[in-house]
Amino acid sequence: MHKVMSNPKMIALYVLPSLLLILGIIYVPIILTGYYGLMQWDGVSPMTFIGLENYKTLLQDAAFGNSMLHSFLFAVLSTLSLSVYMLIALVLSGQIKGANLLRKIYLIPMLLSSVAIAQLWLKIYHPSSGILNSFLEALGVEETPDWLADPDIVLTALFVPILWQYAGFYILIYYAALKNIPSSLIEAARIDGANSLQIALRIKLPLAAEVIKVTVVLAVVGSLKYFDLIYVMTDGGPNGASEVMASYMYSKAFRSFDFGYASAIGFFLLIVCLVMTWGIRRLTATKDTIEYS
């Protein structure tokens, strides 16, 4: 059997089916998206080649600028919230009572589908019968906010459930990373007189650095292309106040029937994500890898 596996032709033969699938399902559509981005096309009638016109419009499109701003704001926010998740993971990985139960509590939102979460939070935010406003009214607030209808607060109102939704995911990753650190290291530090804070900052965090890098990339790229909860909860409204890049792309493609333009947005989004990933990896590149010994 070894002979078969070291035969280049055989390798090609075994790799080929999945390679074709990946090419066909992922890479070909990416190239096609780039190609459609150069067209004026409503998705039905014949397309006309207009070169980089869509991209020029994109740069001057105030609505797109806004949605991009919202996406970036969201990326920054979710990156910052990683520190909170790490803090929770540090606490959970220590010897506290009920850590197991707490971990499960944090993880449950992740098990719900986005649409279910959206429905849940729609109820919470309901302007007259939602629990949030009922609570505020009980406290004596007279003008309760219209969480999803007020352009000034709708973004914040949306980010809360999204960050809440993903908290469990990141906490789980961090928790696993921290649990992987050999306890001998921590015990040694403790014998040397280090307190919990010192152990966390000097030992646990540096050893989890690789994982943190990965989560930063995940958080940034995930935020930039975020779509589902926003689509269900506000559909980008009111008047684009909660539009992000992906929801704007959807609206251009399926509501305005501007497929060429939507493809240009999609391609642009891909490039932004690639650049951000590359940038983050560059910024956080370390030469010496830490090894447990």
Partner 1 sequence: MKKQVYAAALTTAMLGTLLAGCGGGGGTEGAGSNSGGTAGTAGGEKVTLKMMHLWPDGSNSAQNKLVKQIIDDYQAANPKVTIQTEVLENEQYKNKLKVLSASNNLPDVGFTWAAGFLEPYIKGNMFTPLDDLLKGDLNGKFVSGTTEAYAIDGKTYALPVELNIVPVYYNKEIFKKYNLTPPATLEELKTVIKTLTDNGVTPVALGGKDAWTSSFWYMYLAERIGGAGLLDKSIASGTFTDPGLIQAGRTMQELVDLKAFQKGFNGLSNDEAKSEFMNEKAAMYAMGTWEVPNYTTNPDVPQAFKDKIGFFKFPTVEGGKGTVNNWVGGPGVGLFVSEKSKVKEEAKKFVSYFVQKWGENSVTKAGIIPATKVDTAAVQLPPMFTELLSELNKADKVTLYVDVQMKPGASEEHHNLVQALAGKALTPEEFAKKQEEALKAGK
By C-beta, is 60 or 100 nearer to partner 1?
Answer: 60
What is the C-alpha separation between 258 and 245, in angstroms, rounded?
15
| Pairing, β 39-40 against β 48-49 | antiparallel
DSSP helix/strand/coil, 39: strand
Q: How far is the CB of 127 from partner 1 (least distance, A)?
A: 3
Question: Is residue 152 within 8 Å of 262, Cβ to Cβ?
Answer: no
By C-beta, is 17 or 51 nearer to partner 1?
Answer: 17
Q: How far is the CB of 8 from partner 1 (least distance, A)?
A: 13
Q: How far is the CB of 82 from partner 1 (least distance, A)?
A: 29
Question: Is residue 85 within 8 Å of 211, Cβ to Cβ?
Answer: no
By C-beta, is 40 or 284 nearer to partner 1?
Answer: 40
What is the C-alpha separation between 125 and 287, in angstroms, rounded?
48
What is the C-alpha separation between 80 and 84, in angstroms, rounded?
8
What is the C-alpha separation between 126 and 129, in angstroms, rounded?
6
Determine the distance from the C-alpha atom of residue 225 to the mean position of all C-alpha atoms in its chain, rounded to a whole number.
Answer: 7
Q: How far is the CB of 238 from partner 1 (least distance, A)?
A: 4
189's CB contacts (< 8 A; 6+ apart) are: 198, 199, 202, 203
Q: How far is the CB of 113 from partner 1 (least distance, A)?
A: 17
Q: How far is the CB of 265 from partner 1 (least distance, A)?
A: 14
Q: How far is the CB of 129 from partner 1 (least distance, A)?
A: 9
By C-beta, is 1 or 191 nearer to partner 1?
Answer: 1
By C-beta, is 94 or 237 nearer to partner 1?
Answer: 237
By C-beta, is 14 or 278 nearer to partner 1?
Answer: 14
By C-beta, is 24 or 151 nearer to partner 1?
Answer: 151
Q: Which residues bind partner 1 (CB under 8 A)?
A: 1, 3-4, 7, 10, 13, 17, 42-46, 122, 125-128, 146-151, 154, 234-235, 237-241, 251, 254-258
Residue 227: C-alpha distances to residues 37, 58, 211, 234 (Å): 20, 19, 25, 11
What is the C-alpha separation between 151 and 60, in angstroms, rounded?
22
What is the C-alpha separation between 67 and 63, in angstroms, rounded?
6
